[in-house]
């Protein structure tokens, strides 16, 4: 076996390291306690100074000096805490203060760093300050997903045509890591993205169109009718389902006709989406065709058809009652379940 000497050396090393780590642990603990208490006092002074500066934008040199005396990380923490709760002129005032303290310039320099976490740090500060037009657009092409996602978040308040174009490119980013942020940002931008999104949908098909269709559905603009009508014929059933959902937010006779045609789609997902959209639009003329879907072999289509009939009002309920006598036990069962649903508005909201 191992000679005792080696084990003794191992033991001494372990004990030595253990002692070192214990000292480090307790030392760090003391340092954190001290830092916490100093930071607390600084933040208290800083908050009071910021309050005065917001009340009297012109003067208060003393308070400005107090803010200047704080370490950068505390200044930024203070701005982060404050800016999220302020709007309008006061927010602008805080932003001006941050600029005066050199945060914008500092963050821009960080954004040009070769280290990704520094670029991310800079991008977050510039997003907070809602500034950085000089450096942020280039970060929309950053190779690191986190940095790119941060730049996308920034873009919500800086929606130039170039920026929107880049955001739409990112919708079909194969790495997908920033898709949520892109969709969220496009929804926040709102109607300004309608035209570029239409152009995007005109040239994209298949799964690449799905995230754009989801955004379009959230924006609810009638100008999406043409791309929606085109994509409802896409070979991919998921795309057809999303296109049906979009038509359900638009309405009109053309959309209704397309949705009725989709009720006989070979895939159950578009059939279900079409039935749901018809229900949302309240297109009672399609009631008998929707009622036929109660006999659909797919449960999800039967369910959506039943709920759609319910949404169509008295016409739909009449059709549901007729379905109770259907030869198809599945259709009769679904009709019974839908007719048994409670009537109140509150309860209606909880069944769909």
Partner 1 sequence: MMDIAEILARGGVALEWGILVYFLLINGFYALLLLSAAMEMRQHFRRTAGENRWRVLSSRAVPRISMIAPAYNEAATIAESIRSLLSLYYPNLEVIVVNDGSKDDTVAVMAREFDLVSIHPIYQRQIPSQPVRALYRSRSHPNLLVVDKVNGGKADALNAGLNLARGELVCATDADTLLEADALLRMVRPFLLGSDVVAAGGTIRVANSSLVRGGRVIATRVPWKPVPGVQVVEYLRAFLFGRLGWNRMGGNIIISGAFGLFQRSAVVAAGGYAHDTVSEDMELVLRLRRIGYERHTSHRVEFVPDPVAWTEVPESLRDLGRQRDRWHRGLADVLWRHRRLLFNPRYGAMGLVVIPYFWLVELLAPVVEAVGLAVLGFAIAQGSLDLSFAVLFFLVAYGLGLLLSALTLLLEELSFQRYRRMRDRILLLLWAALESVGLRQLSVLWRLRGIGKFLRGRTDWGAMDRRGFQRSEAPSTRG
List residues binding partner 1 (CB under 8 A). Answer: 1-2, 4, 7-8, 10-11, 14-15, 17-18, 21-22, 24-26, 28-30, 32-33, 36, 76, 80, 84, 117, 120-121, 124-125, 127-128, 145-146, 149, 153, 176-181, 183-184, 187, 214, 218, 299-300, 303, 306-307, 334, 337-338, 340-342, 346-347, 349-351
Q: Rounded CA gap, 110 and 88, in Å? A: 27
| Residue closer to partner 1, measured from CB, 23 or 261 | 23
Task: Please identify which residue in the block is written with the tokens 């279900």.
Answer: 272
* Residue 230 or 333 having the CB closest to partner 1: 333
Minimum separation from the CB atom of position 220 to partner 1 (A): 11
Nearer to partner 1, 8 or 44 (CB): 8
Residues near 180 by beta carbon (within 8 Å), at least 6 away in sequence: none
Closest to partner 1 by CB, 200 vs 258, is: 200
Min CB(56)–partner 1 separation in Å: 29
Polymer length in residues for the chain: 352
Is the Cβ of residue 29 or residue 288 nearer to partner 1 in the bound state?
A: 29
In contact, 98 and 121? CB cutoff 8 Å: no
State both tokens at 166: 């880049």
Of residues 79 and 284, the one with the C-beta less far from partner 1: 79
Contact 338, 347 (CB under 8 A): no
- CB 341, min distance to partner 1, A: 6
CA distances to 117, 119, 135, 178 from 144, in Å: 9, 10, 15, 10
- Residue 55 beta carbon to partner 1: minimum distance, rounded to whole angstroms: 26
Tell me whether residue 1 or residue 61 sits nearer to partner 1 (CB atom): 1
Residue partners of 351: CB distance under 8 A and separation at least 6: 307, 341, 342
The DSSP element (H or E) to which 299 belongs, if any, is: helix 299-311
Rounded to an integer, what distance in angstroms lies between the CA atom of residue 316 and that of residue 338?
Answer: 11
Minimum Å gap between C-beta 207 and partner 1 is 11
Shortest spacing between CB 257 and partner 1, in angstroms: 28
Q: Least separation, in Å, of the C-beta of 59 and partner 1?
A: 31
Q: How far apart are CA 111 and CA 124, in angstroms?
A: 10
Q: Can you give 224-264 as a three-state secondary structure string?
A: HHHHHHHHCCCCCHHHHHHHHHHHHHHCCHHHHHHHHHHCC
CA dist 31 and 73 (Å) reads 17
Task: Please identify, using beta-carbon distances, which residue of 117 and 321 lies nearer to partner 1.
Answer: 117
Q: Least distance to partner 1 from the beta carbon of 346, Å?
A: 6
């Amino acid at each position: 076996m191992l000679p005792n000497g080696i084990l003794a050396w191992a033991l001494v090393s372990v004990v030595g390291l253990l002692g070192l780590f214990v000292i480090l642990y307790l030392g760090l603990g003391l340092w954190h306690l001290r830092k916490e208490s100093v930071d607390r006092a600084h933040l208290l002074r800083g908050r009071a100074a910021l309050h005065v500066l917001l009340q009297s934008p012109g003067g208060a040199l003393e308070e400005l000096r107090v803010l200047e005396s704080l370490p950068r990380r505390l200044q930024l923490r203070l701005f982060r805490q404050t800016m999220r709760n302020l709007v309008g002129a006061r927010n602008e005032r805080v932003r001006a203060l941050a600029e005066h303290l050199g945060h914008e310039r500092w963050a821009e320099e960080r954004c040009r760093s070769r280290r990704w976490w520094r670029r991310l740090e800079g991008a977050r500060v510039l997003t907070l300050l809602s500034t950085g037009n000089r450096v942020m657009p280039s970060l929309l092409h950053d190779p690191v997903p986190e940095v790119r996602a941060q730049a996308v978040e920034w873009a919500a308040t800086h929606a130039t045509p170039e920026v929107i174009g880049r955001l739409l490119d990112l919708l079909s980013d194969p790495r997908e890591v920033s898709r949520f942020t892109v969709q969220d940002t496009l929804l926040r931008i709102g109607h300004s993205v309608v035209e570029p999104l239409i152009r995007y949908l005109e040239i994209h098909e298949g799964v690449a169109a799905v995230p754009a269709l989801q955004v379009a559905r959230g924006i609810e603009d009638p100008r999406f009718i043409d791309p929606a009508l085109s994509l409802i014929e896409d070979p991919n059933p998921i795309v057809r389902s999303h296109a049906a959902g979009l038509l359900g937010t638009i309405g009109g006779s053309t959309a209704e006709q397309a949705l009725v045609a989709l009720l006989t789609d070979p895939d159950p997902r578009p059939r279900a989406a079409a039935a749901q959209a018809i229900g949302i639009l309240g297109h009672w003329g399609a009631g008998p065709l929707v009622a036929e879907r109660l006999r659909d072999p797919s449960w999800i289509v039967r369910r959506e058809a039943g709920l759609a009939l319910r949404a169509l009002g008295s016409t739909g309920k009449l059709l549901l009652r007729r379905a109770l006598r259907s030869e198809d036990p599945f259709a009769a069962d679904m009709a019974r379940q839908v007719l048994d649903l409670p009537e109140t508005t509150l309860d209606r909201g909880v069944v769909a």
